[in-house]
A = this chain, B = another copy of it.
Amino acid sequence: MSRRSNYDRAVKIRAAVLEQFGEPLVVQELELAGPRAGEVLVRLTACGVCHTDMYTASGADPSGYAPTVLGHEGAGIVEAIGEGVRSLVPGDHVVTLFSPQCRECIHCLSPRTNLCLAIREQQNKGYLPDGTTRLSRDGEPIRHFMGTSTFSEYTVMPEIALAKVDSEASLEAACLFACGLSTGLGAAMFTAQVQSGSTCVVFGAGLVGLGAVAGCRLQEAERIISVDLSDERLALARRQGATDCWRADGQVVERVLDQTGGLGADYTFEATGLVAVMREAVESARMGWGLCTIAGVAGKGETLEVVPRLLITGRRICGSSFGGVKGRDQVPELVQRYLGGEIDVAPLISHRMGLEDVNRAFELMHAQDGIRSVLALGS
């Protein structure tokens, strides 16, 4: 236990705190207690800034709370481990998992889902699995966010929520596998399980959509149509493997049908979070067996309208959370494919900045400037 002893007491960290919904985050000093049993202290080095962070910061998520330390697309190095931690040792490179993998619950034991049930309830409330927080300020507990809170120099997370990745991989690249990129890749590879030779349509060319394009390519789809409003993003989609890049113009469904003998695409993916686009994705899917995979997160209270006849004639609809990726098993595999040159991460990082600039990352996202801002954390 000696390697834990330095961390038995709280350490000072700098972190970006959501103090008030709708207000800029405030970067400040907090205390972080050492890892308890089953927990791990991670020195974070990189963190992507994702729409879910901004969505929560805006106050639009009714399950959101403040104050909290946002951030969930993190990567770093294990600094210390708590009692009973067996799968990680200090020095290991890790990607944070807002979607953990306990390997023991009924969902982890099933090949049908990646939605681990082990710590869901406490995580949703902002607590670590034992129902407490490691974060505090002047002795007052501060809740964690998505079980990760990675807009910070350090975090304490459950062992089951960390994926150990090859230390050859750049952590700046690896962090994208903590959310957006894996969500897109996995939607095609694990949720839809695109068959070789298929025709696919991906709506939206943000990080999730670009990941889905890459996933379709890795699955050896024959035709991959990327649809977006931005020519710049469409150019990135082509680089990820899109064979066709279409400006979204309200005529996409008709165009897909026209070009597929009236039948539709084998697989469609929705990566915008807009219910009107979800409907287009459903209606572009092929009669007989077309599968529409929803990866975007819709606004609260919005519903997707489906014409039942489309279902009866063979279209199917599913959703994908974190791309169906079982994080501890499959994030390392995806990172390995990145290292093998099969996934081109560099063009997806459009901005780099320090933790102090996290609000600028939100501004860039709001302006739809670039794909991903990555924060360089720590020294």
Contact = CB atoms under 8 A, between A and B. Distances in A.
A283 to B, nearest CB: 11
Interface string A252-281: 000000000000000000000001001000
A319 interface: yes
A245 B190 CA distance: 36
B107 A288 contact: yes
A110 interface: yes
A316 interface: yes
A294 B312 CA distance: 7
Interface of A is mostly: loop
Number of identical monomers bound together in the oligomeric complex = 2
Nearest to A275: B308
A295 B294 CA distance: 22
B305 A303 contact: yes
A204 to B, nearest CB: 14
Give the interface centre of A295, A307, A310 by most chain B CB atoms within 10 Å: A307
A321 B317 CA distance: 16
A297 interface: yes
B294 A308 contact: yes
A58 interface: no
Contacts of A303: 305-308
A321 B316 contact: no
A289 B107 CA distance: 9
A315 interface: yes
Contacts of A306: 303-306, 317
A298 B313 CA distance: 13
A318 interface: yes
A21 to B, nearest CB: 20
A110 B289 CA distance: 10
Contacts of A298: 308-309
Nearest to A299: B308
Contacts of A305: 303-306
B113 A308 contact: no
Interface residues of A, number: 35
B319 A112 contact: no
A347 interface: no
Contacts of A287: 115
Contacts of A310: 319
Nearest to A317: B317
Interface in A313-335: 313-321
Contacts of A318: 311, 315-317
A113 B308 CA distance: 17
A235 B110 CA distance: 35
A302 interface: yes
B308 A312 contact: no
B319 A308 contact: yes
Interface string A141-162: 0000000000000000000000
A110 B286 CA distance: 14
Contacts of A314: 113, 115, 319, 321
Contacts of A311: 294, 304, 317-319
A313 B115 contact: yes
Given A294-B308, A308-B319, 17 more contacts: A112-B289, A115-B288, A115-B313, A294-B311, A295-B312, A303-B308, A304-B305, A306-B306, A310-B319, A312-B319, A313-B321, A314-B319, A316-B316, A316-B318, A316-B319, A317-B317, A317-B318
Q: Which 10 A-B pairs have the closest CB atoms?
A: A311-B319, A113-B288, A112-B289, A312-B319, A298-B308, A316-B318, A303-B305, A304-B306, A317-B317, A294-B311
